[in-house]
Amino acid sequence: MIEALDHVKNQPGFAEATVVVYLVMHGGCLPTLPNYPTDGKVHAGIEICAEDNKELPSDDRDWKDYIMYDYELKEMLDGFNPAKFLFITVACESGVMAGQDTAGAFAGASDSLFDSLGAPGRIVITGSTTPLMTSGDVLGHGFWEKGIKEGRGDTAPTGNGDGETSVEEAFYYCKSLANADGTETASSQPCMNDQYEGEMIL
């Protein structure tokens, strides 16, 4: 992933580019793993599966699982500043990455306890917050298909009706859905950290 980000960053025109990173994977926020950080903060992790690059591609290739935490992603994305950057992760209990966490809020934790991936000029969206689960349909249908592609995010009450659907409008449209078409959007509580000036149009 570091190599991929560096490759994109080193392309001509990167400073004026629009970059979207969309990750759909397993995730968690509770300290159930032996390598869970003990720095007093609430952390979220996503499961990265990587192939062993020392072997030729095959169905029997060795796949390795690794839990990548928010602070590791934050370090990777440091200095990754195209003109427009949208980072989305559809993973259970991943709200910490957007600086939001339901379980932490109930326990009195504040945003300062989360290693958010948010940064100026960037929008971070997560599929759910702790202790809630999510699925690919939440953002796949609610955000991308209905909110962006069909333009429903631009309609009232979440949009301004200007004929263009922004990332922000699509997000709020997605968040407003209540188990539409079997997609449990509202009960997953998607989160957004928006530090992009104005509305982001992809």
pLDDT for residue 2:
76
Residue 183: pLDDT band (50, 70, 90) is: low
What is the overall mean pLDDT for the chain? 80
Give, in degrees to the nearest 5, the angle at Cα 92 between 130 and 8.
115
Query: Is pLDDT of 17 > 90?
Result: yes
- pLDDT tens digit string along 95-149? 878 877 665 666 666 555 566 888 889 999 988 876 777 777 778 888 999 899 9
| Token duo for residue 197 | 């000036």
Domain boundaries, the chain: 16-194
Please state which of the ranges 8-17, 83-92, 130-139, 189-198 shows the lowest mean pLDDT.
130-139
